[in-house]
Homo-oligomer: A and B are copies of this chain.
Amino acid sequence: MTDGGAGRAAPRKRADARRNERTLLDAAAAVFVTSGVEAPVRDIAARAGVGVATIYRHFPTRADLIIAVYRHQVEACAEAGPALLAGVASPYAALGRWINLFVDFLVTKHGLAAVLHSDDAGFDTLHAYFLDRLVPVCAHLLEAAAASGEIRSDVDALELMRGVGNLCIGADNDPRYDARRLVDFLIAGLRLPH
């Protein structure tokens, strides 16, 4: 309790450890851009100039590393939800804009959408993080749009988020597949005839 933090022990890590953690995050981000989020752990370690064990010391599993790399952007996306709802004309428009934000995030990260919905255990924490953080935001937008009578009221936020995420799989590096268009169709399909 001596530090102003969250009350946990927080035994300040050694300087080299903190330095390596930062180096690893940078290296991972760089490798993810060029080789996708499923890049071999060894590649990331090599890029950072450390051993593979160092990665696992800082990040219990690959999923945690991915979370750490993209945490800021996920948080930004989550926070954009209420802001859009407050600043845009209709809740449906806000929903559409927010979904676009999410899609833009996903399609610009090679393979992230794919790994996000892999049933491979070990990505469970990644899965859970994204869903825990974003589903409530989506649910809020859905409720508002349903309350205003713009969309049907039986749409489950979790289901929609997974659907949108799925639609983004393989959207990178293939010009014939435009995930944004399909997601727009999907969102349009939620509308009620007025």
- Which among A19-27, A57-65, A141-149, A173-181 touches the partner chain? A173-181
Report B-chain residues with C-beta under 8 Å of the C-beta of A156: 176
Nearest CB of B to A118, in Å: 7
Interface: A109 (CB within 8 A): no
Interface: A159 (CB within 8 A): yes
**Chain B residue with the shortest CB-CB distance to A185:** B189
Within 8 A of B (CB), among A137-186: 155-156, 158-160, 162-163, 166-167, 169-170, 173, 176-179, 181-182, 184-186
Tell whether, in the assembled complex, residue B159 and residue A170 are in contact, meaning their CB atoms are under 8 Å apart: no
A residues near B (Cβ < 8 Å) are: 111, 114, 117-119, 155-156, 158-160, 162-163, 166-167, 169-170, 173, 176-179, 181-182, 184-190
Which 10 pairs show the lowest CB-CB distances between chains A and B?
Answer: A189-B189, A185-B189, A188-B189, A163-B182, A166-B166, A186-B186, A166-B169, A117-B170, A166-B167, A162-B177
